[in-house]
Amino acid sequence: MGAAPQQDRGRGERERCSNAPGTEGYEMNVKIAQSGLRFATMHTGGDKGIDYLMDAIEEGSRRAGMTLEEIRTKRHAFDHGAGAPRPAQIPRIKNLGMMASMLNTILWETHRGAYEIAQQYGIEYTNWVVPRKSVNDAGIMNTFEIDRPLPHKVFFFITKGMNRYNDRAQKVYGPGEKTDRITQLKALTTWGGYYLLRDKLVGMLEPGAYADFIVLDRDYLTIPEADIPKIQVLMTVVGGKPVHLVADLAREIGMQPVGPSTWPEPIPAGWEPKQY
C-alpha cells in the first residue's frame, strides 16, 4: 500500500513490487507502451504498483512521441481493485484515459481483500478496496469481474458491491464507496464492452450489436436489494442462440431446455472458495 506500511510476508524480507523502476518488469512495461500496445487484464494488488504502471505508460509513450489523446485511445486498464486506486491516483488515471476492472468478491472474502487490509493497515484503508463510487464519480470507466467459476453467485456479488458488508467481520468496509444497482449493472454490461474494445457489439441491445442477453425470474431494477441474490437466470442467449434455458420457461415458450439445467449430475463440489 502507498501510505500504509508494507506487508511482511514472513520470509525475512519485504516483498518488492515486480514492476518497480529498475526491475525487468518495469522496463518491459515501458517497451510495451512504447510499441503502442495496450495494457489490459493486468493483475494488480495494492496502489503502488499502479503508480509504477502509469510511470511506465507515460515513459514509453513519451519515447514513442505519442500525444495525450493517442495515449487515451489505448484504453489502458488494470484489474482487481484489491487496494487501489487510492484517492490521489484518480485524477492521473482519468487524465490517461485508463479503465479499472473491479473484483467485488474481495469485499466478501475473509482471507484477502477488504478483510485482510482492515486487519493489517486499518479499516480506513478499506475505502481503497473496490473504490467504484470514487472512480465512477470521476468519470473513469470501471467494470465487473469474477476470477473463478462462480457464475451462480453473480447477483450475490452485485449486492456486495452495493452494501460492502463483510459477513465474517459483520462490518461495512468503505461505506463511502457503496454504489447503486444501476452502476453495478453498467459495470457488467456497457462498460464491460468498452473494456473489451467491443463497445459497438456487446454490452447493450441495439441494432448492429450481438444478440447477447439473459432472462431473469424477477425484475432486477425494482425488487428489494435483499432479494437481488435470489435472482435466477432462466435463459441465456449468445449471438442470438440460446445456450441455457431452464425447463419451466422452455415449456412456456415451446422450446427444448438447453445447457447446464439439463445436466444429470449435480454441480461439482469445491466450486465455493474456502472461507477462513
| Shared domain check, 209 and 121 | no
Number of structural domains in the chain: 2
How much is the pLDDT for 265?
A: 67
Same domain, 186 and 88: yes
Q: Region 44-54: what's the mean pLDDT?
A: 92
- Give the cell for residue 257: 431446455
77-132 pLDDT, tens digit each: 999 999 999 999 999 999 999 999 999 999 998 878 899 999 999 999 999 999 99
Tell me: do 159 and 89 sit in the same domain: yes
pLDDT value at 247 more than 60: yes
Do 225 and 166 share a structural domain? no
Domain assignment present for 82: yes
What pLDDT is stored for residue 159 in this prediction? 97
Average the pLDDT over each of 44-53, 140-149, 263-272 and give the range with the smallest value.
263-272
pLDDT at residue 158, rounded to an integer: 97
CA 196 to chain centre: 13
In the prediction, which pLDDT does 50 show? Answer: 95
Q: Residue 119: CB partners within 8 Å, gap ≥ 6?
A: none
CATH label of the domain that carries residue 71: 3.20.20.140
Classify residue 58: in a domain, yes or no: yes
Q: For residue 232, tell me if it sits in a domain.
A: yes
Bridge-based pairing of strands 165-166 and 171-172 is: antiparallel
User: Does residue 251 share a domain with residue 190?
Assistant: no
- Which pLDDT does position 42 carry in this prediction? 84
Q: Which region among 6-15, 19-28, 204-213, 267-276 has the lowest average model confidence (pLDDT)? A: 6-15
Assess whether 149 and 174 both reside in one domain: yes
| Final residue of a structural domain among 199, 220, 243 | 199
In a domain, 7, yes or no: no
Query: What is the rounded distance in angstroms from the CA atom of residue 144 to the CA atom of residue 233?
Result: 18
For residues 131 and 209, give the distance between their C-alpha atoms in angstroms, rounded to a whole number.
Answer: 30
Per-residue model confidence (pLDDT) at position 267: 64
Distances (CA, A) of 56 to 62, 85, 97: 10, 16, 15
Same domain as 221, residue 146: no
Among 61, 69, 12, 9, smallest CA distance to 38 is for 61
Is 235 part of any domain?
A: yes
Kindly give the interhelix angle for 24-34 and 48-64, rounded to the nearest 10 degrees.
40
Instruction: Measure the CA–CA gap between 76 and 134, rounded to whole angstroms.
Output: 18
Instruction: Judge if 212 and 81 occupy the same domain.
Output: no
Q: Identify whether residues 101 and 225 lie together within a single domain.
A: no
Lowest average pLDDT, out of 7-21, 134-148, 194-208, 247-261, goes to: 7-21
C-alpha cell at 132: 467504484
Domain that holds residue 163: 24-199
* pLDDT one-digit tens code per residue, 180-230: 999 999 999 999 999 999 999 999 888 999 989 999 999 999 999 999 999
Is residue 271 in some structural domain?
no
Mean per-residue pLDDT, 56-73? 98
Residue 176 maps to a domain: yes
Q: pLDDT-based confidence at 16, cuts 50/70/90?
A: confident
CA–CA–CA angle 115, 78, 37 (5° rounding): 165
